[in-house]
Amino acid sequence: MPADKEKIAKRISEIQTAVDHLRRYTSLDVKEFLSNDEQIAAAKYHLLIMIEGCISICTHISTKELHRIPEGYSTCFDILTENNIIDSELGSRLQKMAGFRNLLIHQYWEIDNQKVYRFIKSDIADVARYIEIIGQKYLK
């Protein structure tokens, strides 16, 4: 059974919305970002939506197109790498992102907010690249 284009398009749209919200924080310096608890909480929420969307797409493609069930969230990106959908460098960074998702879900109160800021500043570009690759391959 082929991947569901509508499902992938919906997840990409959700991811893009979260990325757009997160980009607002990239213009702030770290001190300014850390000074507002509400924007930190909002950033964590949008990170979670973004990461969950990436994992959802990955799992969907893995099971429907590649007929492999990932053992975990991060291993899903291995499957895409092994099948030359994404390169190994991007796959590795997306695996780390999946690990960050676990921190957001399970240890929310222990997350270093400076790490949240660094993640927003440096890693959302990987997500933009990921959804561009997926969009080109599965939505054209």
Query: Which of 86, 96, 83, 72 has its CA nearest to residue 136?
Result: 86
**Structure tokens that stand for 111 in this block:** 């997350």
For 69-128, write each residue's pLDDT tens digit.
Answer: 999 888 999 999 999 999 999 999 999 999 888 888 877 667 889 999 999 998 899 999
pLDDT (0 to 100) of residue 108: 61
What sign does the CA torsion over 129, 135, 138, 140 have?
Answer: negative
Location of structure tokens 């590649």: 66
The 10 Å CB-count burial string (b at 16+, else e) for 101-112 is bebbeeeeeebe
DSSP classification of residue 4: -
* Residues 19, 9: Cα–Cα separation, whole Å: 15
> How many domains would you assign to the chain?
1
Average pLDDT over residues 39-49: 95
* Residues 67, 3: Cα–Cα separation, whole Å: 10
pLDDT (0 to 100) of residue 109: 64
pLDDT (0 to 100) of residue 102: 82
Mean of the per-residue pLDDT values of the chain: 94
* 21 band by pLDDT with thresholds 50, 70 and 90: very high
* Residues 100, 47: Cα–Cα separation, whole Å: 9
Domain of residue 32, residue span: 5-138
Interhelix angle 73-82/88-106, nearest 10 degrees? 170
CATH number of the domain that residue 90 is part of: 1.20.120.580
